[in-house]
Amino acid sequence: MSEFRITGKAKLAGVIGYPVTHSLSPVLHNYWLARHGIDGAYVPLSVAPDAFVTAIKGLQAAGFKGANVTIPHKEAAFAIADEVDPMARIAGSVNTLVFREDGSIHGSSTDGFGYVANLEADGIDVSALASRGPALLLGAGGAARSIATSLLEKGLQVIFSNRTAERADGLAKELDAAWRRNFPEGDAPRLSIIAWDEWEEQLGDMALLVNTTSLGMQGGPAPDWTPDLSKASRHLVVSDIVYIPQETPFLKAARELGLTTSGGLGMLLHQARPGFKAWFGADTEVDEATVAYIRAALSRR
């Protein structure tokens, strides 16, 4: 590692949130910067909602390459971008901003990419899942929206099931409309919903099951949440976006039935790759060393 890593020419980026103290992104990006010997830094930026636009202009004026954007700024980031990726347009939110040399701002949504990239890193051929059956997404929040968008892009049929049925219905209708607006010539998206008390019964038809709720999370609404997965076909792939604990009760139940599983931390790590590449110019890997480093950071909290 170079002794003089951060010089006067350092490339700068950061994460804008409010609060931002919980963000793992500074740990991850600075780890990758050090490993690649890149002259750069990535800092937490605590910005109140009414100061978002001022902060973006200030970062651009100070020569930042761009920023990640987290709660509560994802919609404001969408609005401030001059150009937005199709998937971010459909998801209606942006988590990665790139400040271009000409002063324009590019926005993208990398959460769905991170989810799919993590499945693929776990050896799951996501496009091939489409021929085996639909994806069943539990939940109807921002994470469900981003993941659904990327699964639709891979050709999967998406079914939502949510405790509050109206939210699942609203999300399916919104995504359907957004998809048709953005891809008027393409195939219509295949979106539907199942009642919250019925999804366990219907598991036999599914190729992929995703928990996008906070159920099973340490400190969340139901840390011991363990649904009945006994109706699953033996090909079902079960994934969880919760990453504390590493193996959620939901994933444990799936593993005990011999099902293929995929955990939540990888999504968080993979979603960071496009921003790192755009700001700092290097491809990164989510390898064992990266996972171990982030796990150690999590365990110190």
The DSSP H or E segment spanning 83 is strand 83-84
Per annotation, catalytic residue among 74, 154, 173, 277: 74
Query: What is the closest distance, in whole angstroms, from the C-beta atom of residue 175 to ligand ATR in the complex?
Result: 14
- Residues lying near ligand ATR in the complex (CB under 6 A) are found at 139-144, 162-164, 167, 212-215, 221-222
Instruction: Tell me the C-alpha distance between 39 and 227, whole Å.
Output: 47
Q: Which is nearer to ligand ATR, 146 or 284 (CB)?
A: 146
Instruction: Tell me the C-alpha distance between 30 and 92, whole Å.
Output: 29
Query: What is the closest distance, in whole angstroms, from the C-beta atom of residue 70 to ligand ATR in the complex?
Result: 11
DSSP 50: G
How many other C-beta atoms are found inside a 10 Å radius of the C-beta of residue 37?
10
Q: Which is nearer to ligand ATR, 211 or 262 (CB)?
A: 211
DSSP 169: H
Active-site annotation holds for 11: no
Q: From edge to edge, which strands make up the β-sheet containing 135-138?
A: 191-193, 158-161, 135-138, 208-211, 237-240, 260-262
Q: Is 239 exposed, middle or buried (0-12, 13-18, 19+ CB in 10 A)?
A: buried
Query: What is the closest distance, in whole angstroms, from the C-beta atom of residue 264 to ligand ATR in the complex?
Result: 12
Query: What is the closest distance, in whole angstroms, from the C-beta atom of residue 142 to ligand ATR in the complex?
Result: 3
Q: Which is nearer to ligand ATR, 164 or 230 (CB)?
A: 164
The residue assigned the tokens 């949440």 is 225
Q: Which is nearer to ligand ATR, 140 or 294 (CB)?
A: 140
Q: Which is nearer to ligand ATR, 46 or 214 (CB)?
A: 214
| Amino acid letter, 33 | L
Query: What is the closest distance, in whole angstroms, from the C-beta atom of residue 168 to ligand ATR in the complex?
Result: 8
Q: Which residue is nearest to ligand ATR (CB)?
A: 141
Catalytic residues: 74
